[in-house]
Structure 1
Amino acid sequence: MNIVIIGGDAAGMSAAMQIVRTQPDWNITVLERGAYYSYAQCGLPYFIGGVIPDSDQLIAREREVFAEKYGIDARIYHDVEAIDSKKQIVTGKDTKSGKKFEVSYDKLLIATGASPIQLPVEGNDLEGTHVLKTIPDAESIVKDMGEDVLTVTVVGGGYIGLEVAENLVTKGKKVRLIDVADRLGQRFDLEISEKIKQQAQEKGIQVVLGESVEAFLGQDRVESLRTDKGEYRSDMIIVAIGIKPNTSIVSNTQLKLHDLGAIFVNDHMETNVENIYAAGDCATQYNRLKKKDDYAPLGTHANKQGRTAGLNIAGQSKSFQGIVGTSIMKFFDYAVAKTGLNEEEAKELGIDYGVIGFESHPIAGYYPGGDSLYIRMLKDNETDKLIGVQAMGKHGVAKRIDVAATALFSGLTMEELENLDLSYAPPYNSVWDPLQQAARRM
């Protein structure tokens, strides 16, 4: 059996390893257009900030390990250009040698990931303008970030933009955050977004909201950027306005695509075309709360979907159980996290919901170090079920979000959440966990 996998990162190699372990005699060919296999994209901002001193630390497994230890034909610089689903052949070009290649498959996994969205404006190719998605992207930023780079503008106020901004501040740069939206962290409700903005400003970041970038200006190197409301001098610009799935190679196939360009898959990671699977940032994820296919590209999903795809390709039966929309980030002294629906999503789904937001403590109030923890909870008024939680604080955020994610996955009501037997000791929690305090008030 000939298995071809397009993409050598999280989803692709999670699948490859399951196939190797389950069907050791099968032939596995992985076609990776870059130079790296299995690296931690989420760690890239921390390499920029110097928290991770060497980019090699972000590589989970070298390509040679997959090739020599596991017998995988793990290729690099192999850019797939087209898929012939009738002949079951993929074609492309070796970007190092310039030679064309053709590989036939019995089963194909598309794990091509996603690429950063470029701003389609004048000057976006000037020296000193960057995006961040790969190790070479991060290395280019670090190499370019010399002593003469004093002011850096980050375009985009989402997770990556905020993490990059924080790490630039730790490197001693003067940082500006620009976003066309009217607030930072749009995945969060307004109350959390305002707290993020306050923390950014307290750390010296200039926050510019509600302005659309029109051009990057300079001769050979960027010197400033112009928005619809003004011009800002900048020695470097990093664009972090989101990503788009790498699915252009399926344009000549019958594969069904989501509105955002991701490939629709079922719970076995099968597409609508026989013998073709998809997983990771190029595929959809079923949202258990929205009860529909969504696009939420995260490393956690990519690894789970890759494992699921690999087992099903190898002849086993494994289902991807879906997502509830859980994420967390560090922003200076705070952790900021969410799971489930925010208010905007609840309104879009027509849910009659209740919401509460309040300050609590992650540990016993009398125990030293109990900084405040802000909790925001949403419930479905009709079923009394939990539908969303957001939290921001210096301590205890991850614990609450993971408990809430488990409750959402299990469909717990407010009463059931209140009755959970959660751990307590003064250094770790209060007698009533903040989540349970919220549930009692709903």
Structure 2
Amino acid sequence: MTSYYSLSLITILFSLLIPNLIATRPVKDPEIIVQAVQRSINASLIRRNLEEGSSCLTGNPIDDCWKCDSKWDKNRQKLADCAVGFGKNATGGKDGKIYVVTDSSDNDVVNPKNGTLRHAVIQDEPLWIIFERDMVIKLKVELIMNSYKTIDGRGANVHITGGGCITIQSITNIIIHGINIHECKPAGNTNVRSSPGHFGHRGISDGDAVNIFGSKHIWVDHVTLSNCDDGLIDAVEGSSLITISNSLFTQQDKVMLLGHNDAYTADKSMQVTIAFNHFGEGLTQRIPRIRHGYVHVVNNDYTKWKMYAMGGSAAPTILSQGNRFLAPDDEKSKEATKYENAPKSEWQKWNWKSEGDEFLNGAFFTSSSRVINSSNAAFFTSSSRSSSSSSASDISAKAVTLVPKLTANAGALKCKKGFAC
């Protein structure tokens, strides 16, 4: 039986959410409202349990590092010490100044106004960027970031949409945390500033939520992404040392692309960790699609993808551990994998392995004939290692039965000052 507390909470949440949703953009799917309400209820119940003395630890190593601290807003930069996987050394704006975004406008992309997000991300020095209040930032063109920046949306309801959206190109040490990115569309063919001392002409962008191009030490965490014209996250042209974690992906055809094209062999050095994400309903393919390199996919929740989950085309190494794959209800058999552009005689020599995964509703994973695990992945040969990389993804999979708990708070959090998130 639903408690009076739950009914009251639902009523309050609807009264708060609906006006905000209407004010920002039309709601295309009522299910989005239901999911948002449920996540808010879960967050509220967690806070209530904390007040009653219950532990908020979930076993998620990233969240357990900082999320239980009721004074998180006084020590925001501790977050930089909490990453795991290949992107664990991304410092973002750690030890830099706090920059408060006070203005949601994006009117001048060559000489951005002080106090805007665009002005913050192009600065040369390390910055930890936070937001004064809830805001919707509608970009005119892609937001080109400079190195050593953290975008930290905790404590505010921040939406980024419009042209672009976020471009991480030929830079290093970026953390993106706690924001919503959606409805990103192609834009450009104009001058755009990328640093205080440089602006240049940009062509038309693809319309990705986050485009990582030739960059390293990148961490995307607790971000909600949906409904962009091209993809949600692309990492191409030699990008590496990336962790994508605790994020919520919904309502998208092409979700995540790792690798520029099959002929671009520089991407063989790519190392990506994908952990504790919820790949929700309305996703079709590329969750992710990998061309080269090594990708560790661990403790994610896959819900009713339409075409395939993981795919690859140029002999990538994929280690899938402790993931839950729930196939659509209307299909008796649903493959989670797709070997692209290669006959069976070739892809059998690749390195794809499922280890401790759970398959529901007829889902299944087709492994290659090669044997790999987290410590002996064939990708890690003496010739491919460098001083900036480790020999493994540095994250151990939890039991798949824990995946619902580990991913329960995926997406942008509703953090309130004075309370654990």
Greater share of residues in helix: 1
TM-score by length of 1: 0.25
Greater share of residues in strand: 2
User: Which structure would you say has the larger Rg?
Assistant: 1
